[in-house]
Amino acid sequence: MLKMNKESINIGVPDLNEEELLEIIKYTEDTIRNYIFSKINPKFVDDFNLEIVLEKLEELTVNINIELNFSNIEIPNANEIVNESLEIGVKALKEKVSSLKN
């Protein structure tokens, strides 16, 4: 089992409604999922959980958690791939927030 997370990414103070927040989450999920499965064949993954939590208080804070379970195979660079997917996901999220703010 491989678990990774990015915690408390501060995105600033965007004035976004619930529909826009859901759009951001979907876009970020799709970006992360597509990246991981472009690097790891989905048939080797038994379980894939991706959780994105947005907290909109004074500022928008994001937590991203990824959990992968592999089917009796070792993926030598799985940690690197998941770390890269988190970075790409955060970048995509920030770009989406920026595009919605304009």
Mean pLDDT of 12-27: 82
pTM: 0.84
Quick check: 32 pLDDT over 90?
Answer: yes
pLDDT of residue 2: 52
User: pLDDT category, 13, cuts 50, 70, 90?
Assistant: low
Percent of all residues in the chain with a pLDDT value above 70, rounded to a whole number: 85
Report the pLDDT value the prediction gives residue 28, as an integer from 0 to 100.
94
User: How many Cβ atoms from other residues are within 10 Å of residue 7's Cβ?
Assistant: 10
Bridge-based pairing of strands 60-70 and 2-12 is: antiparallel
Cα 69 to Cα 78: distance, rounded to the nearest angstrom:
11
Give residue 24's Cα distance to chain centre.
Answer: 10
For position 36, what pLDDT does the model report?
95
- The domains found in the chain, sorted by start residue, are 2-101 (3.30.300.100)
72 phi-psi bin (left φ>0, alpha ψ -120 to 50, beta other): left
pLDDT in tens, 47-86: 999 999 888 777 778 888 898 888 877 888 888 999 999 9
